[in-house]
Amino acid sequence: MPAGTTSGTPQVLLAHHLKQLKLPTVLREYDKIARECARDGVDHPRYLLRLVELALIDRERRMVERRIKAARFPAVKSLDTFDFTAIPSLNKMLVLELARCEFILRRENVIALGNSGTGKTHVGLALALAACQKGFTVAFTTAAALVHQLMEARDERRLLKLQRDLQSVMLLIVDELGYLPLSPTGAELLFEVFSQRYERGSTLVTSNLPFEDWTSVLGSERLTGALLDRLTHHVHILTMNGDSYRLKQSAGRRRPPTAADRAEQNQTTAETVDPETGETSKP
């Protein structure tokens, strides 16, 4: 059949094919951009380039959205809204470096330690968002929810599947380790998760407890030692001790950072941690 004899046919077929090819942006935009290009005297290769570039940008945006949805964030937070002056103990340069997500490529871990309300979850979420934007798969959970999920999966004989899923994400965030003591089985299941991810993927843990108190959550000293050994082998520690941001906000108080705070924030080296004592040191 000669082209153009049945008016509307090419458009209908094109729409069908573009749907088959899963190119919704091309379908939505090709006509509008064609008219713009005709108006501007833009040639065919450049027309196609504009269209394909738009499709690429759109696809990337949709993939980021999909990764954010799959990660199950309790809220979306970014570093743009994080006030570093409110928490001088936190090494700002290290956080900014971590937001580049190279630690995920190196399969290194991050542990944020500090009292309640100091922004640990906020920073965890912000790093997780950065990871989604850079193309990494992410999962966010709390220690209590994770253990609950693991126990439930074990009872329903689907533990292996869950463990495999947890192992496959590139960044796993385990928030709030320390608020609730775990049962011996719960502690063992959590240990297995960290152990299975060891040197295979990055894990970010936040805790209100210093390392020496982790035994009170995990129950056994042997298990805590083995867990910390794996978790802290390649680790960046974020020290987040300070006043609760919530309380400070409600009290309406703020103190400007001192020169000493700024000096500390300018240090870019990662801290290393002694798993025995939990003491941190800079190389």
Q: Site residues (CB under 5 A) for Mg ion? A: 121
128 binds ligand ADP (CB under 6 A): no
Closer by beta carbon to Mg ion, 124 or else 275: 124
Closer by beta carbon to Mg ion, 121 or else 203: 121
82 binds ligand ADP (CB under 6 A): yes
Report the alpha-carbon distance of residue 51 to residue 33 in Å, rounded.
7
92 binds ligand ADP (CB under 6 A): no
Closer by beta carbon to ligand ADP, 126 or else 189: 126
74 binds ligand ADP (CB under 6 A): no
121 binds ligand ADP (CB under 6 A): yes
Closer by beta carbon to ligand ADP, 171 or else 223: 171
As measured in angstroms, the least distance from the Cβ of 214 to Mg ion is 17
**What does 122 interact with, of ligand ADP, Mg ion, none (CB < 5 to 8 A by kind)?**
ligand ADP
Among 26, 73, 94, 119, binds ligand ADP (CB under 6 A): 119
**What does 281 interact with, of Mg ion, ligand ADP, none (CB < 5 to 8 A by kind)?**
none
Q: Which of 35, 38, 16, 36 is nearest to 27 (CA)?
A: 16
SS (H, E, C) 41-99: CCCHHHHHHHHHHHHHHHHHHHHHHHHHHHHCCCCCCCHHHCCHHHCCCCCHHHHHHHC
Closer by beta carbon to Mg ion, 129 or else 162: 129
**Cβ atoms of residues 22 and 30 within 8 Å:** no
**What does 91 interact with, of Mg ion, ligand ADP, none (CB < 5 to 8 A by kind)?**
none
118 binds ligand ADP (CB under 6 A): yes
As measured in angstroms, the least distance from the Cβ of 145 to Mg ion is 13
87 binds ligand ADP (CB under 6 A): yes
245 binds ligand ADP (CB under 6 A): yes
**Site for ligand ADP, rule CB under 6 A:** 77, 81-83, 86-87, 116-122, 245-246
